[in-house]
Amino acid sequence: MQYPEPIAKLIDSYMRLPGIGSKTATRLAFYTIDMDKADVEAFSKSLMAAKTELHYCTICGNITDEDPCEICRDKGRDQKTILVVEQPKDVMSIDRTNEYHGLYHVLHGVLSPIEGRGPEDLNIQSLIKRLQANDAVQEVIVATNATPEGEATAQYLARLIHPAQIKVTRLAHGLAVGSDIEYADEMTLLKAVEGRTEM
């Protein structure tokens, strides 16, 4: 027996989301059907608002409903540092720590020759223009993920930025707090040794 078409379409829609398989999609579809009509309408309005009212900041590339974004407008932030991340969600993760008070720049991905993604596909040119237009910047912190693509992107950015006499640093990588050395992979251990600090 097949599901009625409206349910089948709803299940298919949920399956388009990353990490959602058919069982989870089916459970979410039936949960949605059981929701109050007002809650479903509010949910659909939230989806449409997120799609139509959000865009990328023309300065840093972060997701925002105003341009420039709140962070770029905040003159109280440290104007001497720019932290470069892969995705807008990374900005939120780092800013929640309340330890970094500088500016951000979002690449919207990393270099990946296998996927056909080169420098022209990323938000790199606007970073270079920002650095050329703002002589207050003294340090660029590259916070791409510790993957081969993230490392390659970090190296590429460092080569581009170094001629401007701007300090380029990389976030430390290594053992997570509470982890056991015996379970760590070789790359994690290598990064932990390379990123060791004096006590």
Cβ atoms of 105 and 127 closer than 8 Å: yes
Cβ atoms of 83 and 143 closer than 8 Å: yes
Q: Give CATH 1.10.8.420 domain extents, the chain.
A: 5-53
Q: Which of 142, 197, 196 is nearest to 171 (CA)?
A: 142
Q: Give CATH 3.40.1360.10 domain extents, the chain.
A: 76-170
* φ and ψ of 26, to 5 deg: -65, -45
Residue 141, both tokens: 């912190």
Cβ atoms of 1 and 16 closer than 8 Å: no
Residue 40, both tokens: 């479903």
CA separation for the pair 145, 149 (Å, rounded): 8
Instruction: Tell me the CATH class for 5-53.
Output: mainly alpha
pTM, rounded to two decimals: 0.83
Sign of the four-CA dihedral 101, 129, 162, 106: positive
What does DSSP assign to residue 112? B
Instruction: Tell me the CATH class for 76-170.
Output: alpha beta
Residue 54, both tokens: 């959000």
Element (H, E) at 64: strand 63-64
User: Which positions of the chain have pLDDT values less than 70?
Assistant: 175, 181, 197-199
Residue 27, both tokens: 């459970």
For residue 197, the model assigns a pLDDT of 60
For residue 199, the model assigns a pLDDT of 54
* Maximum Cα interatomic distance, the chain, rounded to a whole number of Å: 67
